[in-house]
Amino acid sequence: MGYVKTAMLMAAMTALFMGVGYLIGGAGGAVIALVVAAAMNAFTWWNSDSMVLRMHNAQPVTPGDRMGLHAMVADLARNAGMPEPKVYLIDTPQPNAFATGRNPENAAVAVTSGLLRSLTREELAGVVAHELAHIRNYDTAIMTVTATFAGAISMLANFALFFGGSRERLGLIGTLLMMMLAPLAAALVQMAISRTREYAADKMGAEICGQPLWLASALEKIAVGAARIDNHAAERNPATAHMFIINPLHAHKHDNLFATHPATENRIAALRALASQSWPAPRTTPLSSSSIPKSRARGPKGPWT
């Protein structure tokens, strides 16, 4: 059902975008809007990963790093049956993580230094497995496209006052309403897609690492840390908030229309329900202790090497 809901929401985003284009310029405007959207998505499709990593000043983690982070990601990627993504470290005290990339062959996982200091090795494995699930499910590509659509819809709505066609169809009041409501509707669809994909990634992440309770425990700790510790790079780039495992901008506590993530307590409850069922073993061998960071010690400010 998660995939069906995502497809429906993506169709709604496309229809909304073309609808705004039609109101501005008629049938020709709808076609132009679709072409513009395709061009914008093509650019972000190829460049989104590097753009986001630069926004958060993420530094690459090389094989053999002293915390064993790179080896852990590689081990989990094998469990997931997917290519090994690049690994990055973000120097911020807020515990958090995200994945980016247009496909599993061109992807990256980024974790914060605060995450490494806050979690046990099992909890960290649960978080990384969740991010790998996003990559394997192509969620990173989907969210890139929806974010681009949302931005383009806002741009088109702001152009509405400068085009006579929209005023003829809607009148001045209708045009002003469209300027306010179209971006809001786009944002709501974007948030709904993000919330849908989080539940699916939680479940698949539990399958990858083999233990739902690892991620459940990690989510509890990350939620507490994200609520009291600022992530300044995320505050400067709020459009990237939906990418993180927990909203870095201090999300609402309940599942509502304006939340970029499901309520953490709901996600934890779903994971605990999974743990109470008969649980399949990981696809390959379980994680070796040597492949998971063994220490919570404070690391250096630069990349872990």
* Cα pseudo-dihedral 18, 22, 28, 34, rounded to 10: -10
Closest by CA position to 8, among listed 137, 192, 144: 192
Closest by CA position to 81, among listed 202, 197, 199, 204: 204
Closest by CA position to 80, among listed 210, 202, 169: 210
For residue 172, the tally of other CB atoms under 10 A from its CB is: 10
- Report long-range pairs for 40-44 (Cβ below 8 Å, ≥24 apart): 40/148, 40/151, 40/152, 41/144, 41/145, 41/148, 41/149, 44/144, 44/145, 44/147, 44/148
- In the beta sheet, which residues pair with residue 265? none
Rounded Cα–Cα distance for residues 296 and 244 (Å): 21
Helix-helix angle 69-80:164-209, to 10 degrees: 100
CB burial class (10 A; 0-12, 13-18, 19+) of residue 265? middle
| DSSP 8-class letter at 260 | S
- In the beta sheet, which residues pair with residue 97? 111
* Cα pseudo-dihedral 255, 251, 130, 67, rounded to 10: -160
Question: Which residues are catalytically annotated?
Answer: 131
